[in-house]
Copies of this chain bind each other. A is one copy, B any other.
Amino acid sequence: MYGWSEKKQRIVQAAMEVFSRHAYHLVKMEDIAERAGVGKGTIYEYFCSKDELFLAVAQAGSRLYLAELAAAVSAGQNALEKLRALFCQHLSFVEKHADAARLLAGDRRPPHPDLLQAMLEGRRQLLLLVGGILEEGVKTGEFRELEAAVTVHALTGALTALWAAVLLGELADRDREQVAQTILDLYLAGLAGARPGPGEQ
C-alpha cells in the first residue's frame, strides 16, 4: 500500500468514499474516476475490475483499521489496558475514518462469491486480536475463566454495532470517552455487578 503510486492512492480513496456511501451496484466506475480526478480508463491501469477495486478498497480499510487497532492495543501493558485501548481506538477510528468504518460495517457479502475468503481475512485478524486479549487476561488472572472462542464474538459484535450507532448519529450527543467507559464497564463488571471503582480500572 505504501508502494502505491499517488494516483493509485487517489483512486482507492475516491472508491472508498463512494463505495462507503452507496451499495456496490449503485456505484459506477465513472463516479469513482470523476471523484478521483482521473479518466475512467485509468482505473483499469491499476485494477483489472470493479470487483478487484472493491476488494482493494475493503482491504485497505481493513488494514488501516487493524493496524491502528493493533498499535493501540499493543501499547497496553496488560489485558485490561489492552481492552480499554481496543474500545477507545475503535471509537476514534470511526471519527477519523468515517468512510472506512462505514464500508467495513456495511456489506458483509462480497460482490462476487470468489472474494469471500479475501473479505473474511480482516474479520479473522480482528478475532485473533481480540481473542488474544481475552486469552492473555485469563492467563494473567485479570479475567475469569471463560470461553474465548464464544466471548470474542460478543466483543467484536459490540464494536461493529457501536460504529453503526455512531454513523447513524444515535450517539451523536455522547462523548467518546464516556461511551468507551460504559462499554468497558459492561464487559468488565457485567450488568449485575457494581461499577468498579477507579482504582480497579
- Docked pose: A154 CA to B23 CA in angstroms: 25
Stretch in A40-48, A69-77, A159-167 touching the partner? A159-167
* Bound Cα distance from A24 to B186, whole angstroms: 36
A137 an interface residue at 8 Å Cβ cutoff?
yes
Cα–Cα distance between A24 and B160 once the two chains are bound (Å): 22
The docked-state distance in angstroms from the alpha carbon of A184 to that of B83 is: 20
A108 to B147, CA, bound (A): 29
Task: Give complex CA distance A159, B161 in Å.
Answer: 10
Pick the interface stretch among A4-12, A56-64, A109-117.
A109-117
A145-181 CB mask vs B (1 if < 8 Å, else 0) is 1110111011111111110110010110010000100
B23 touches A107 (CB 8 A): yes
Q: Which B-chain residue is minimally distant from A150 (CB atoms)?
A: B182
Give CA–CA (A196, B120) in the complex, Å: 35
Q: Known interface pairs A105-B108, A108-B106. Does A146 touch B26 (Cβ–Cβ under 8 Å)?
A: no
**How distant is A63 from chain B, measured CB to nearest CB, in Å?**
20
Q: A182 vs B155: C-alpha distance in the bound complex, in angstroms?
A: 13
Contact with B along A70-114 (1 / 0, CB 8 A): 000000000000010000000000000000000001111111110
A23 touches B22 (CB 8 A): no
Q: Is A198 an interface residue (CB 8 A)?
A: no
Chain B residue numbers with a CB within 8 Å of A168 are 120
